[in-house]
Chains A and B, each alone.
Chain A
Amino acid sequence: MNFEFKVQGGDFVRAGNASSQVKKILKQLNVDSAIIKRVVVALYEGEVNIAAHAFNGIINVEIDTERILIKLDDNGPGIPDIDLAMQPGYSTASPIVREMGFGAGMGLPNIKNNSDDFKISSVVGKGTHLEITVNLKSTKEEV
């Protein structure tokens, strides 16, 4: 199964829409609730990152019998130093975004902690690509 969602930069009102849809789909498929929780946390953070930092982005969710693979591709400024961006507490979010309670530098670490496999690549001036895999038979504890 394949699902695609579009995210617009700056649109915080709709951030969470993809996560909410995916949660419904996974519930209908009777996926274990601990797995759903991890997918939802990772995907929500990804959506918010696109809304907070990029111009726009596309989320592709692929579900098969083994795993859920989420690809997030954005057109945006990109990340010059990924190691730094992965550090908990590091953030480049704007003051407005921070006032909303976002931009605490916890998004990417949250995504990584909830994934079984996590890939990130970025080209400065072009955009960022994330690949989040959550195995359906995963025994990883919720973080």
Chain B
Amino acid sequence: MTVKDLVETLQLKVFSGSTGMNREVTGGYSSDLLSDVMGNAESGMVWITLQTHVNVMAIASLKELSAIILVKGFEPEENTLTQSNVEGIPILGTTLQTFEISGKLYQLLNS
């Protein structure tokens, strides 16, 4: 499944990084603690978080994540957007909260 498939199925907003829409999604990780994601997420995962600052892109890039989903209508900060476009790692958005979007993503990836 690609990021694009995810966007269409889960009706996500695409904020940035649209050159990375064909990245393969291998799983998901839900956390707002950066060291937790740094230590435990694996490459190809989608990261679900409410953190909007530029450090999320540093982590997404270093861990080679496939995309970031911001929950509850949060929007990325300006330099986060810029970095997402540079890296080609999409930042997506949903109005759902972490529990709900994680459940949907889990179901989708395991169906």
Query: Could you list which residues of chain A lie within 8 angstroms of chain B, going by C-beta atoms?
Result: 12-13, 15-16, 19-20, 23, 37, 40-41, 44-45, 48, 100-102, 104, 106-107, 110, 113, 143
- Known A-B contacts A13-B79, A15-B58; the reply to A45 vs B36 at CB < 8 A is no
Instruction: Check B62–A12 contact: CB distance below 8 A.
Output: no
24 residue pairs from A and B, CB less than 8 Å apart: A12-B54, A13-B79, A15-B58, A16-B59, A19-B58, A20-B61, A20-B62, A23-B62, A37-B63, A41-B62, A44-B38, A45-B35, A48-B34, A48-B35, A100-B34, A100-B55, A101-B33, A101-B49, A104-B34, A104-B35, A104-B36, A107-B35, A110-B38, A110-B39
Taken together as a complex, chains A and B put the C-alpha atoms of A113 and B53 apart, in Å, by 27
A122 to chain B, nearest CB (A): 20
- In the complex the two chains form, is B35's CB within 8 Å of A110's CB? yes
CB-defined contacts of B49 to chain A, threshold 8 Å: 101
Cα A12 to Cα B63 in complex, Å, equals: 18
Tell yes or no: B32 within 8 A of A by CB: yes
Whether, in the assembled complex, B51 has its beta carbon less than 8 Å from a beta carbon of chain A, the answer is yes
Chain B residues, CB < 8 A from A143: 39
Q: Report yes or no: A101 in contact with B61, Cβ–Cβ below 8 A.
A: no
| Residue of chain A at shortest CB distance from B61 | A20
A41 to B53, CA, bound (A): 19
B58 A44 Cβ-Cβ under 8 A: yes
- Residues in A with CB closer than 8 Å to B61 are 16, 20
What is the CA–CA distance of A101 and B50 in the complex, to the nearest angstrom?
A: 10
User: Bound complex: CA of A113 vs CA of B36, how far in Å?
Assistant: 13
Interface 0/1 of B46-72, CB less than 8 Å to A:
000101011100110111000000000
A16/B55 contact (C-beta < 8 A), A40-B62, A101-B32, A101-B34 known: yes
**Closest Cβ of chain A: how far from B89's Cβ, in Å?**
13
Please, which residues of chain B bring their CB within 8 A of the CB of A101? 32-34, 49, 51, 55
Does A100 lie within 8 Å of B36, measured CB to CB?
A: no
Residues in A whose Cβ lies below 8 Å from that of B39: 41, 106, 110, 113, 143
- Contact between B35 and A102 (Cβ–Cβ < 8 Å)? yes
Find chain A residues with CB under 8 A from B62 CB: 16, 19-20, 23, 40-41, 44
